[in-house]
Structure 1
Amino acid sequence: MNAYPSNIQVKPEVTPFFDAATNTISYVVKDPNSKSCAVIDSVMDIDYFAGRITYDNADEIIAFIQDNELELEWLIETHVHADHLSAAPYIQSKLGGKIGIGEQITVVQETFGKVFNEGTEFQRDGSQFDALFTDGDTYQIGTMQVVAIHTPGHTPACMTHVVGDVGFVGDTLFMPDGGSARADFPGGDAAELYDSIQKVLALPEETRLFMCHDYGPNGRDIEWETSVADEKAHNIHVGGGATKEDFVKFRTERDAQLAVPKLIIPSLQVNMRAGEVPADDDGNPMLKVPVNAL
């Protein structure tokens, strides 16, 4: 039985924003009973080879919030993304709101603080974020209560955020024909990922699940919404009663064949800082490229 509080009768209004460059879906989730809203997994655009950052995707979200006269209360990161950069501080500078992530961000910061040879000035206590969530923590978007569920395996800091009949799963699950995310990053674990997926699948079957990524397997159109019932019945990695042993074997073998994400180097440096770009000693935005470290 699911031990997390939820009210399936509450039906948030969810608006997706697809970023084709990174196959990321960001969301504005609105309280149907007020003007309050939150942004989930925003994207900051980067031309990595040119060293240029822009904000077209974030500006689209900002315009939507302003045009609908919404009040932004939260900017939620489901985890420290390795494939896109967060625009949370940029959006926050325009609209306010608090930036939140799972408390295990400290593990990620400690791990990659070493990889990128960050000095003692880089705080590894999660203080770059406004809120750190533990398993079962709740917070409000207007009149709606949100529960943060710790779902590690892809990364230690992964959280699924459930509000009413909606769950934002980050990279814990993909669409049923996409399966699940890799578990071979530092701190990742396929067995933990299986257990985390079971937490999600223990939610009411009618719960709407929203993905952080979709890659259109087999040439289909991009999709981002499914349900607990559909995942339980049809997910190609964990559906139909797949065992933990089978999942771990498959995930381990599959992950060994996967390439490193193209934006992993800038993404980790920025996202472990809550979306802020690191700077050199003179205060200029600057990214490092560690060699043979990832």
Structure 2
Amino acid sequence: MKAPSPDVEAFFDPATNTVSYIVIDSRTRHCAVIDSVLDYEPNAARTGYESAQRLVDRIRERELTVDWLLETHAHADHLSAAPWLQSRLGGQLAIGEHIKTVQSVFGEIFNAGPEFARDGSQFDRLFADGAEYRIGDIPARALHTPGHTPACMSHLIGDALFVGDTLFMPDYGTARCDFPGGDARTLYRSIQTIFTLPDETRMFLCHDYLPAGRTSYHWQTTVGEQRRRNIHVREGISEEEFVTRRQARDAELGMPRLILPAVQVNMRAGHLPPEESNGTCYLKIPLNVF
């Protein structure tokens, strides 16, 4: 039986090269929002909602009901706007169950203290590998695809797969694996699992960084195209070859520009750290850790 095909609308945030999605069951007008962005100006430590407001406006324009606010992982390159969206649109906020590992690791790095829960309770739902859910009448399944982080989940919604940072466009390759809890060998195996899906499965990516030689941004491909053409992990590239190349590439990369604010917020499901006695929220900067 042919998988149902949701309507997918993409919203590109040029400040972080992030693509957020509204995934829609057109018949019931129910939807999910995937990987939303909270605007953040690092020089002033100021947050804003212009990117997230675009999602709100479009959902209201189409008179959609939000079932889910999905995070593919605890992002290191942008802050999540999921709680702000939830307060305006409803829906359940969800992430993979291994966010607990991420919270444990980064809770220590940021010395978050005992008041920071490391059990994933900031989210409404923690998906296990293979967990099934629905967006309207369209069946969906969460797939644990670790390697970039321990908590990475891909979401197969009808004939559309949302892979977060696991894969980029074929001419850019795959996610880095040098964050705490990342592992190149694990990423390779996760991608091989993705490659068992039908070639025609539409694949939607969380970022595009415009590699040399390309002049326009792209964030949609297919499983078959990735399997045949991805420069890091296409057919014929062995696990050992991939691991060697990925580790060498990661050793050359600097940390993402927003990793320190992003992880502190995203490990809290997009909530800011608690206000201190003067009514202000503060983010920490751990010296000489990364």
CA distance in 2, matches of 1:202, 1:256: 30
CA distance in 1, matches of 2:7, 2:112: 40
CA distance in 2, matches of 1:292, 1:280: 26
Runs of 4+ aligned structure 1 residues displaced above 6 Å come to: none
1:21 alignment partner, one of 12, 15, 21: 15
User: Paired residue for 1:144?
Assistant: 138
Contact 1:279 1:287 in 2 (8 A): no
Tell me the percent identity.
55
Deviates more, 1:25-34 or 1:277-286: 277-286
* 1:216 Cα deviation after fit: 1.0
Flag structure 1 segments of 5+ consecutive residues without an equivalent: 1-6
CA distance in 1, matches of 2:246, 2:129: 25
* 1:242 Cα deviation after fit: 0.9
* 1:163 Cα deviation after fit: 1.0
User: Paired residue for 1:169?
Assistant: 163
Contact 1:8 1:207 in 2 (8 A): no
User: Paired residue for 1:252?
Assistant: 247
User: Paired residue for 2:269?
Assistant: 274
Residue deviations 1:135-158 (CA, integer Å, cap 9, x gap): 000111100111000000000000
Q: 1:8 to 1:43 in 2, by over 3 A?
A: farther
User: Paired residue for 2:82?
Assistant: 88
User: Paired residue for 1:215?
Assistant: 209
* 1:175 Cα deviation after fit: 0.5
Residue deviations 1:199-249 (CA, integer Å, cap 9, x gap): 111111100000000011114210000001100110000113211000000
Residue deviations 1:71-101 (CA, integer Å, cap 9, x gap): 0110000000000000000000001011000
Give, as a single letter, the amino acid of the residue that structure 2 aligns with 1:287: L
Residue deviations 1:36-80 (CA, integer Å, cap 9, x gap): 000000000000110110000000000000000000110000000
How many residue pairs match? The answer is 288
Flag structure 2 segments of 5+ consecutive residues without an equivalent: none
User: Paired residue for 1:4?
Assistant: none
Q: CA RMSD in A?
A: 0.9
User: Paired residue for 1:227?
Assistant: 222
Contact 1:151 1:172 in 2 (8 A): yes
CA distance in 2, matches of 1:104, 1:216: 30
CA distance in 2, matches of 1:132, 1:241: 35
Q: 1:115 to 1:8 in 2, by over 3 A?
A: farther
Is 1:124 aligned to 2:133, yes or no? Answer: no
User: Paired residue for 2:285?
Assistant: 289
1:10 alignment partner, one of 4, 29, 36: 4
Deviates more, 1:238-247 or 1:154-163: 238-247
